[in-house]
Amino acid sequence: MSHEQMGVRRTALTLARVNQKHGFDCPGCAWPDPDHRNAAEFCENGAKAVAEEATLRRVTPEFFAEHAIADLAERSDYWLGQQGRLVEPMYRPRGATHYEPIGWDAAFTLIADRLRALPTADAASFYTSGRTSNEAAFLYQLMVRRFGTNNLPDCSNMCHESSGSALSHSIGIGKGSVSLEDLYAADLIMVVGQNPGTNHPRMLSALEKAKKNGAHIVTINPLDEAGLRRFRNPQSPVGLLRGTELSDEFLQVRLAGDQALFAALAKLTVDAGAVDEEFVATYCSEYEEYVEHLGDLDWDQVVATTGLDRAQIEALAERYRNSERVIVCWAMGLTQHRDAVAAIQEITNLMLLRGNIGKPGAGLCPVRGHSNVQGDRTMGIWEKAPQSFLDALGTEFGFTPRADHGLDAVDTIRAMRSGDVRVFFGLGGNFVAATPDTAATAAAMSALDLTVQVSTKLNKSHAICGQEALILPCLGRTERDDQAAGPQVVSVEDSMGMVHVSRGRLDPAGEELLSEVAIVTRLAEKLLPAGEVDWAALRGDYDRIRDHIARVVPGFEDFNTRVQAPGGFALPHPPRDERVFPTATGKARFTVNELSGIEVPAGHLILQTLRSHDQFNTTIYGLDDRYRGIKAGRRVVFVNPDDLAELGFADGDHVDLISVWSDGERRAERFRVVAYETARGCAAAYFPETNVLVPLDAVAKVSNTPASKSVVVRLEASTASITP
């Protein structure tokens, strides 16, 4: 596929430069690179992400003249992505049926005029997707805050927000506490609610090394995901290793059963007298309350909620207490549930019981998705940034940033719906397709006065757009970024808090393309009073942006020098580095959360919405899901064969999926049933197609993340004749 899109020579040149010392950071995922990089430290899915960006196809003004916006809105995400790279700024005037070309300067003037005409700065919301570089993100949030709002939703709100909420409370920092070296030194690694074979293929190499060093690997998932069981080295397209079983043990937990599972493991650890008393006494608070709460654990509820045997749980508890160094890794299988924050805090509780944090080979490892989603947060892309950050930003730039909280992703949709938000600006991403409740969100988006999308590729959010709309095409990470002071590099932060440079080398896809930094600074020049910030100087030389970052963000001192080091540098993490826990109690906090399962009426299933092997979020690379045996189709629903029999359906039937929620029913038509070994009572289907089923108000407590992995549905024989 890469060859077809990029041409053979370009493919070879491009792939050789992914994650190399003088190359660009892989846009595929946020998994870190080993110190001694393999000459071919890329993976099949990293290659697809690069090919998608380096494609030779172009979306030209002629294309937009040919295709009405209404026509584009009918196309699939797959078709839209296949059209190629966006190369010219495009504008939809109010009432127009088509996009037409517009000059950059006119585009920036138009956005600034519309923003300034709003009754309040809070009538605009500024979204970010996680590919944006540190430099662009920092300037973007500065511009937005200087404009006067904290409405800075980002893809994190739909992703690892639950991890951030849980960990900030419990250990005082919302980031994971392990490095790659820790993985190699662990005795026990639990991979919970994550499918690394597809979504973090380079993690498999790390797990393989950990296993060689003696780690025992346990996976906890409703699905027996292929990469973990039938591992092939992702470094090699054909697979160097044959048939290694990476995972030693598989616990087929029910959807949303993890909180109960980890509470049970904690209870068994306490009952066995295996608590690290010294660690708990020295570093933790609220232990007594927690142990008292564990005393009430109801085993019947645990078995019902997890779908696991008590004996299985006891065996894992024994393994846990006999392991000196334990790491728990997790991703969306934990974060996208109503009680996600509680489940992650339960994992933290278990880890605290035995001091599995702040020592080599142990710790908490939320595995981030987008390649710079963690860095964007560090740079202040956060609707509720801490006051210390706002103070430092204000001091550096001579203004007083607002201290109140802005809108996150879900609240942005609510505010669009109520008319309080009138302008949407997206720095990357595909808001309409990635967010829940597609019908409601699309209606809200279409009613806006203005939408602006800074993008590399065509997507649904260009087609389902505001009354006035702009598409601003930008450079991708693989491309050379020439500015006044010469070629520029940007920086990113991986999932383990390592910051390093990314240097694009390919010729830009079009002459008109601007970098994200250039787009933000040129808009800022039009929008904000002159003379406050020398935006042009920052645009000309990104070192100057990094000088500001060095003074504002803790851990970035001497940024320009340190980022040049091979492999970059590590950001401080007090719990990991020195067992310091900057929480409200000054200690690591045990947290009490009541167990409450999901109510599933008879005849219903819990549906999780997940990724196929052939997509990157809303970008669809192809229609197969090789690891799950699916060919040429995405409208499939995986259901346990026993559940199928009970419900009166069979493999190959076509069904509508109907989700039930307090405000009514939502329907997704015509999915092919696939009998599949998932946990009983659970089903799975791909997003974004199933986002129509996720109610806007079905969110995780505290984090407000859409609960897109626990949608209560029923199946109905499909009467729709054509596949939508």
Other Cβ atoms less than 10 A from the Cβ of 130: the count is 28
Stretch binding Mo ion (CB under 5 A), from 73-81, 361-369, 530-538, 697-705: 361-369
Tell me, by CB under 6 A, how many residues bind ligand MGD: 62
- Which residue is associated with the tokens 């129509």? 692
Q: Is 417 in contact with 448 (CB distance < 8 Å)?
A: no
Q: Which of ligand MGD, Mo ion, none sits in contact with 256, Cβ below 5 to 8 A by type?
A: ligand MGD
Within residues 336-355, the interface with ligand MGD by CB under 6 A covers 336-337
Q: Is 514 among the residues that bind ligand MGD (CB under 6 A)? A: no
Q: Which of Mo ion, ligand MGD, none sits in contact with 355, Cβ below 5 to 8 A by type?
A: none
Residue type, 717: A
Stretch binding ligand MGD (CB under 6 A), from 316-324, 330-338, 390-398, 646-654: 330-338
Question: 518 is written with which tokens?
Answer: 């250039």
Q: Is 516 among the residues that bind ligand MGD (CB under 6 A)? A: yes
Phi, psi of 180 (to 5 degrees): -60, -40
Within residues 368-387, the interface with Mo ion by CB under 5 A covers 369
Question: 590 is written with which tokens?
Answer: 């045990």
Q: Is 159 among the residues that bind Mo ion (CB under 5 A)? A: yes
One of 85, 131, 325, 714 touching ligand MGD (CB under 6 A) = 131
Q: Which of ligand MGD, Mo ion, none sits in contact with 206, Cβ below 5 to 8 A by type?
A: none
Q: Is 508 among the residues that bind ligand MGD (CB under 6 A)? A: no
Q: Which is nearer to ligand MGD, 284 or 343 (CB)?
A: 343
Helix boundaries (H) for 153-225: 161-171, 180-185, 196-199, 201-212
Question: 64 is written with which tokens?
Answer: 């937009």
Residue type, 537: A
Q: Is 433 among the residues that bind Mo ion (CB under 5 A)? A: no
Stretch binding ligand MGD (CB under 6 A), from 137-145, 179-187, 251-259, 350-358: 251-259
Closest CB 539 distance from ligand MGD, rounded Å: 16
Of 392, 670, 369, 378, the residue nearest 497 (C-alpha): 378
Euclidean distance between CA atoms 283 and 486, whole angstroms? 50
One of 218, 255, 275, 513 touching ligand MGD (CB under 6 A) = 255
Residue type, 598: I
Question: 478 is written with which tokens?
Answer: 């693989």
Closest CB 374 distance from ligand MGD, rounded Å: 11
- Which residue is associated with the tokens 């295709």? 67
Pairing of strands 664-675, 654-661: antiparallel
Q: Which is nearer to Mo ion, 147 or 616 (CB)?
A: 616
Q: Which of Mo ion, ligand MGD, none sits in contact with 459, Cβ below 5 to 8 A by type?
A: ligand MGD
Q: Which of ligand MGD, Mo ion, none sits in contact with 526, Cβ below 5 to 8 A by type?
A: none
Q: Is 142 among the residues that bind ligand MGD (CB under 6 A)? A: no
Q: Is 441 among the residues that bind ligand MGD (CB under 6 A)? A: no
Question: 21 is written with which tokens?
Answer: 């010392």
Q: Is 477 among the residues that bind ligand MGD (CB under 6 A)? A: yes
Within residues 12-41, the interface with Mo ion by CB under 5 A covers none
One of 198, 252, 305, 374 touching ligand MGD (CB under 6 A) = 198
Q: Which is nearer to ligand MGD, 51 or 220 (CB)?
A: 220
Q: Is 165 among the residues that bind ligand MGD (CB under 6 A)? A: no
The residue with its CB nearest to Mo ion is: 369
Euclidean distance between CA atoms 344 and 258, whole angstroms? 9
Of 432, 472, 431, the residue nearest 454 (C-alpha): 472
Closest CB 155 distance from Mo ion, rounded Å: 6
Planar angle of CA 191, 298, 318, nearest 5 degrees: 45
Within residues 12-51, the interface with ligand MGD by CB under 6 A covers 28-29, 45
Question: 362 is written with which tokens?
Answer: 């142990």
Residues whose CB falls within 8 Å of the CB of residue 469, separated by 6 or more in sequence, listed in order: 69, 91, 92, 99, 450, 451, 452, 453, 462
Q: Is 694 among the residues that bind Mo ion (CB under 5 A)? A: no
Q: Which is nearer to ligand MGD, 118 or 347 (CB)?
A: 347
One of 84, 227, 369, 568 touching ligand MGD (CB under 6 A) = 369
Closest CB 209 distance from Mo ion, rounded Å: 25
Our CA dihedral for 20, 24, 29, 30, rounded to 10 degrees, sits at 80
Q: Which is nearer to ligand MGD, 328 or 390 (CB)?
A: 328
Pairing of strands 423-427, 450-455: parallel
Question: 585 is written with which tokens?
Answer: 């109690």
Closest CB 199 distance from Mo ion, rounded Å: 9
Q: Three-class SS of residue 415?
A: helix
Q: Which is nearer to Mo ion, 149 or 608 (CB)?
A: 608
Question: 22 is written with which tokens?
Answer: 């003088």
One of 441, 456, 488, 703 touching ligand MGD (CB under 6 A) = 456
Q: Is 217 among the residues that bind ligand MGD (CB under 6 A)? A: no
Helices 299-306 and 310-321 meet at what angle, rounded to 10? 100
Q: Which is nearer to ligand MGD, 477 or 526 (CB)?
A: 477
Q: Is 608 among the residues that bind ligand MGD (CB under 6 A)? A: yes
Q: Which is nearer to ligand MGD, 185 or 413 (CB)?
A: 413
Exposed (0-12), middle (13-18) or buried (19+): which is 570, by Cβ within 10 Å? middle
Planar angle of CA 619, 623, 626, nearest 5 degrees: 110
Q: Three-class SS of residue 498?
A: strand
Of 182, 691, 188, 212, the residue nearest 460 (C-alpha): 691
| H or E segment to which residue 365 belongs | strand 363-366
120 dihedral zone (left: phi>0; alpha: psi -120 to 50; beta): beta
Closest CB 632 distance from Mo ion, rounded Å: 26
Q: Is 99 in contact with 471 (CB distance < 8 Å)?
A: yes
Q: Is 449 among the residues that bind ligand MGD (CB under 6 A)? A: no
Q: Is 515 among the residues that bind ligand MGD (CB under 6 A)? A: no
Other Cβ atoms less than 10 A from the Cβ of 301: the count is 15
Using CB under 5 A, list all residues that contact Mo ion.
Answer: 159, 369
Using CB under 6 A, list all residues that contact ligand MGD.
Answer: 28-29, 45, 129-131, 155, 158-159, 192-195, 198-200, 220-223, 225, 253, 255-256, 258, 331-333, 336-337, 369-370, 427-431, 434, 454-457, 459, 474, 476-477, 516, 608-611, 615-619, 687, 690-691, 694, 708-709
